[in-house]
Structure 1
Amino acid sequence: MTPTSLPVLEYLQRQLAGTLQPGDTTHVRYPTAISRLLGIEIIEVAERQAAVRIAADVELHGNQQGTIHGGLLCELADAAIGTAHSTIIEPGESFTSLDLDARFVRPAWSGTLIATARCSHAGRTISHYHCDIRRDDGKTIATVTSAVMTLRGEAAAGR
């Protein structure tokens, strides 16, 4: 079978629907290495939007106080935001985060955490994202914003 290179959004939508065919690929790496390591999975995707989840465990992801570490929450938000932005990335383009601003609202312990990211401003080069992270009781534990820069031409080479 001849490999088919799909746009990122179509690839991820097919992956979620279970309709990827053997040999289907995209130009962006999915799943990412860090997502495989931490067990982060994509659960929803649309243009410039994504939701990811993790089965958080204080024995693996905890801090000194016995709650889920803020660094894991930042990584979860970054995964959702990166997935959302990747849906508009064309072959030969790449992207990078310019910042990540986290506001922690309440603690989380072991359980399912879901990060939902959406674009709040879609620019040609710089786009802004908002991400809410909720624990399995539906309560928001953190809100995260990020600016993401799309790289083209030489800036994207080798990325």
Structure 2
Amino acid sequence: MTRSRTYEWQDPSISAADVGQGSGLDFLRAVLSGRLPAPPIAATLRFTLEQVDFGHAVFALEPGEEHYNPIGSVHGGVYATLLDSAAGCAVQSVLSAGMGYTSLDLTVKFLRPITVDTGKVRAVGTVLNHGRRTALAQADLLDSEDRLLAHATSSCMLFPVPAR
């Protein structure tokens, strides 16, 4: 039986133009409140930013069939996207105005399968260390009972954002 899905997103250049204008935490709070649009990948995969504080970011996803791989469970790339988003945004939350970041690497450990029966999952990102040029973060992917589904670490490069 064929299934389909339609979704919409907002112009990503709106948020991109605001990066570095204020602190990273202020930027993420603007996305969380809807003052700035979420990135298109969030609409594509149907995940949301749920919480952000200094050094901490949480994303949530209700898994659906559209996230499945050929063997009937959520594709590892969905895990990785959630974990990368949580770790990266945790890093972004500690940046001062005028600074940006990019992920240098992401190491993911898959521990449990996710299916539509798993229910809502949360990716919880935390900054472990940040300096002038790099930051190290981790993220845990958890089910509703706080069972660990996957774990990731990420190194990020920090850099000045050109003035706009």
Question: Smaller-chain TM-score range?
Answer: 0.7 to 0.9
1:8-47 matched pairs, under 5 angstroms: 8-13=24-29, 16=32, 30-47=37-54
Partner of 2:82: 76
User: Percent identity between the aligned chains?
Assistant: 26
Q: Secondary structure at the match of 2:88?
A: helix
Gaps (5+ residues) in structure 1? none
User: Given the two structures, how large is their TM-score scaled by the length of structure 1?
Assistant: 0.78
CA deviations 1:80-137 (Å, max 9, x no partner) are 1121111133443221111000001111111211000101112221111111001233
2:50 is paired with a residue of what secondary structure? Answer: strand
TM-score by length of 2: 0.75
| Alpha-carbon contact 1:35-1:79 (below 8 Å) kept | no
Q: Write the mapping of 1:36-115 to structure 2, written as runs, cut at 5 A.
A: 36-57=43-64, 59-110=65-116, 111-115=119-123
Q: Do the aligned partners of 2:128 and 2:136 also contact (CA within 8 Å) in 1?
A: yes
Once residues 44 and 92 of structure 1 are traced to their aligned partners in structure 2, the CA distance between those partners, rounded to angstroms, is 23
Tell me which stretches of 4 or more aligned residues in structure 1 moved more than 4 Å.
none
112-121 vs 84-93, which moves further? 84-93
Amino acid in structure 2 at the alignment position of 1:34:
I
Paired residues, number: 142
